Amino acid sequence: MLGISSPILLVCLIAALNCASVGYDSSMMSSLNISETFKARFGIDTNTKGLLTAVQNLGAIVGSLFAGSIVDKWGRKGGILTASCIVLIATVLHSTATTQAQFFVARIVVGFAKAIDIASVPTYLVELAPPKRRGFVAGLYWTCWLLGAIISSSVGYGARRADGDWTWRIVCICMAAPALSCIVSLLMVPESPRWLISRGREAEALTVSVGNHYTHYTKGFNVMGVIYYIKAFY
């Protein structure tokens, strides 16, 4: 399919789930800000609406200071797992919020996770994708941001029929779905061969490179040449 092997299609699914999670988290405030129950619960006015939306970027700024180190130390999959787990923590903070301060903290935590995710997933995709499909696979990441935003809006629309605080808590709880799906999916995909080589695990890197796409992509592809090329830059 599209010249991409089945394992790489699974990797694409990881990208879709991750960016759908980012898109959902980034867009959910649009649904919450029109909820009268939400606004009454936290005393939201025009200024607070803007702050709740913008404060996520504060978390992203802080997260960006650590994202590179996390991805390099724990691996691309480790970075993705870290981001997903932080989203789950943010989900708890959002859905159980009883004060405006707690909700602000939850938004900052989401931003922190977003920074790690953006550092992890595109890197993971381009390091695993076949050369001729690298643009397609990398582009899939941000395309799925829109999918997450659509899902967020759909959940918000449906939650209007709920009673009381559930009109906004449901929107917050559903944040966990893409993150949980991503954590489960990580069990079925390999680590980036480039990161494995940087850690001296060349045999594993060779297995991943051959098994995932190179022999499927083109016969006679010089996998060892790629391995040595990568080593030259570490």
Confidence label for 7 from pLDDT (cuts 50, 70 and 90): low
In degrees and rounded to multiples of 5, residue 218 shows phi and psi of -160, 130
Distance in angstroms (rounded) separating the CA atoms of residues 14 and 4: 15
Confidence label for 216 from pLDDT (cuts 50, 70 and 90): very low
**pLDDT per position as a tens digit, 95-126:** 999 999 999 999 999 999 999 988 998 888 88
**Residue partners of 27: CB distance under 8 A and separation at least 6:** 148, 149, 152, 153
Sign of the CA dihedral with 31 first, then 47, 89, and 18 last = positive
Distance in angstroms (rounded) separating the CA atoms of residues 52 and 31: 12
Mean pLDDT is highest, among 19-28, 30-39, 193-202, for 30-39
The pLDDT of residue 231:
57
Give how far the C-alpha of residue 52 lies from the chain's centroid of Cα atoms, to the nearest Å.
21
9-18, 70-79, 166-175: range with lowest mean pLDDT: 9-18
